Amino acid sequence: MNRAGEVFDAARADFLRWSNRLWRPLGEVLVSVARPSTGDRVLDACCGAGASALPAAHAVGPTGAVDAVDLAAALVAEGAREATEAGLSHLRFHVADVRSWPSRTAAEPYDVVQCGYGVFFLPDLDADAKALCERLRPGGRFAVSTWLSGGMERIVPVGRAAAAPERPDLAGEGPRGPSARLDTEARLHSWLDSLGLVDIQIRPVEFRIPLHPDDAWSFYLGAAMRAFVEGLPQDALDRTRARFTDGLRRAGIDMLDASSLIGVGHMPA
Ligand SMILES: C[S@@+](CC[C@H](N)C(=O)[O-])C[C@H]1O[C@@H](n2cnc3c(N)ncnc32)[C@H](O)[C@@H]1O
């Protein structure tokens, strides 16, 4: 299985602790910018537990359809459970690598492809995102959310440094991944342009919440930073946690700054 799927599967319990505080409100924001309308067909790529797929399903209604696709079976199961409880039978969750999601060849393309904080996990950011856009009808919308420069990027290096003494292999990794390519309005605009999209709009969203040190560790284990410590024994986890707490204190980080950019572009008509 793709490594991102393994990490987010293992992260299930902590990821879900952040659903109501973080993922769900930001998923609502993505949908408010992507604006799927009644009867639309939507692909939610890298859907997690459905933070943006669930509001999209409410927006398109029963005459529409939402395919929500993620590698992490544990998160997909949670989203499917919520969809069933809410009676959203037109929202279907699928455990799959979105790069090989079979609707590429389907006769009916999507009106909207949306992806919340997922594109930077795609192994080939440019080619894989372009392939997602190709699942749109002419004039259809591609909407992505990414982390804004100066927010999440402050926490991740503290998390990496905390794990590094246990994981010498981390030392060779660069300070930031592909999310750095999409973290300013200009960069995100030019990336969407490079995918062949038109009528591009970028919406910055401020999102900051207080971060208690205990919650900070849950955030570490519930999202991408978990990859730094996955498989470590408990004593190594305890040491990493102590270094992480100390590192946040030294850096003066007592807020989770999840400020974001939402970018939308249209396939040429
Ligand atoms: C930060 S989470 C965001 C989840 C959700 N969109 C949200 O906003 O709550 C990123 C998700 O991308 C998924 N993912 C990464 N690569 C993927 C791929 N190639 N295909 C499908 N899902 C993928 C991970 O399993 C994880 O659930």
Residue range 191-218: average pLDDT?
Answer: 97
Distance, CA 250 to ligand 1 centroid (Å)?
31
Atom 23 of ligand 1: nearest residue by CA position: 46
Q: How far apart are CA 11 and CA 157, in angstroms?
A: 19
Whole-number mean pLDDT of the chain? Answer: 94
* CATH at 27: 3.40.50.150
pLDDT tops 60 at residue 47: yes
pLDDT tops 70 at residue 111: yes
Q: How far apart are CA 8 and CA 190, in angstroms?
A: 29
Atom of ligand 1 nearest to the CA of 72: 25
Per-residue pLDDT, 101: 87
The answer to whether the CB of 4 is under 6 A from ligand 1 is yes
pLDDT tops 50 at residue 66: yes
Helices vs strands, H then E, count in the chain: 10, 9
Q: How many domains does the chain have?
A: 1
In our burial notation (b when 16+ CB lie closer than 10 A, e otherwise), range 70-105 reads bbbbbbbebbbebbeeeebebbebebbbbbebebee
- pLDDT tens for residues 156-201? 999 999 999 999 888 766 556 788 899 999 999 999 999 999 999 9
The answer to whether the CB of 2 is under 6 A from ligand 1 is yes
Per-residue pLDDT, 166: 96
Distance, CA 260 to ligand 1 centroid (Å)?
16
pLDDT tops 70 at residue 35: yes
Residue range 193-215: average pLDDT?
Answer: 97
**Residues 177 and 233: beta-carbon distance below 8 Å:** no
Q: How far apart are CA 211 and CA 226, in angstroms?
A: 17
The answer to whether the CB of 257 is under 6 A from ligand 1 is no
Going from the C-alpha of 31 to that of each of 20, 78, 255, the distances in angstroms are 16, 20, 25
Range of the domain at 223: 3-266
Higher pLDDT, 203 or 108: 203
Q: What one-character DSSP code corresponds to residue 11?
A: T
Per-residue pLDDT, 1: 45
Atom of ligand 1 nearest to the CA of 69: 21
Higher pLDDT, 83 or 179: 83
pLDDT tops 60 at residue 106: no
Residue range 120-131: average pLDDT?
Answer: 96
Higher pLDDT, 57 or 107: 57
Per-residue pLDDT, 108: 83
